[in-house]
Every structure is written in structure tokens, then in C-alpha cells.
């Protein structure tokens, strides 16, 4: 999807269990929800 918008060199990293211990933990677990760092760039 990100590449489809014209951005290149897309990278996902650093998955985090961001909702652990929060009220939303149960629904986050249901869908396998993790927080990621995502980067890409616009080509020159």
C-alpha cells in the first residue's frame, strides 16, 4: 500500500506489544495487533 502511493524503500521494524496491560489488550490480541516503526522515502 505504501509503495502504491509512490514511496520507496519501505521498511517495518521494532514490533511492540503496545497494548499489553492496557484496557484494549484483549481486542488487540484478538487481531494480533502490534505497534511497528515504519519508514519509507520519496525517490529523488
Nearest to 18 by CA among 37, 36, 38, 35: 35
Q: How many residues bind another protein (CB under 8 A)?
A: 33
Place of cell 517495518: 12
Per-residue binding string, another protein, 1-40, x by CB under 8 A, is xx-xxxx----xxx-x-xx-xxxx--xx-xxxxxxxxxxx
CB 34 within 8 A of CB 18: yes
User: Min. distance of Cβ 26 from another protein in angstroms?
Assistant: 9
Interacting residue ranges for another protein, rule: CB under 8 A: 1-2, 4-7, 12-14, 16, 18-19, 21-24, 27-28, 30-44
Amino acid at each position: 500500500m505504501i509503495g502504491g502511493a509512490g514511496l520507496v524503500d519501505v521498511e517495518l521494524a521494532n514490533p511492540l506489544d503496545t497494548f499489553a496491560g492496557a484496557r484494549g489488550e484483549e481486542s488487540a490480541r484478538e487481531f494480533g495487533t502490534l505497534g511497528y516503526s515504519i519508514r519509507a522515502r520519496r525517490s529523488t
